[in-house]
Amino acid sequence: MINLFKTKIGRLRILAILEGISLLILIFIAVPMKYWMDNPLWVRLIGPVHGTLFLLFLFNTLSVGVEQNWKFKEITWKVILACFIPFGTFYIDKKILSKL
């Protein structure tokens, strides 16, 4: 895990996992607490964190794609699309990013 911090692709993989985890927390903890327990605090806390991680993942994907000379049609668009599909970052980490 420590080795992931040493490369840009490793840091992108970490962002992918964190973005996916933040979505899990938002969907399965924060939203139910908001609507079933009338407690919107978790949504107010986790929502901006998830949004920030989403944007960081998106911008870092573009940055790494340019730096690594990824062909847009082969890799970059798939990684970008993954962040728009719920839990797609987990899939893209396993299928593409872990092999780079």
Length of the chain: 100
Can you tell me the distance from the alpha carbon of 26 to that of 60, in angstroms, rounded to the nearest whole number? 22
Q: Say how far residue 94 (Cα) sits from the centre of its chain.
A: 13
* Predicted TM-score (pTM) of this structure: 0.88
Mean pLDDT of the chain: 91
The string of pLDDT tens digits covering residues 48-71 is 999 999 999 999 999 999 999 988
pLDDT category at 73 given cuts 50, 70, 90 is confident
The string of pLDDT tens digits covering residues 5-61 is 888 999 999 999 999 999 999 999 999 999 999 999 999 999 999 999 999 999 999
Can you tell me the distance from the alpha carbon of 42 to that of 35, in angstroms, rounded to the nearest whole number? 11
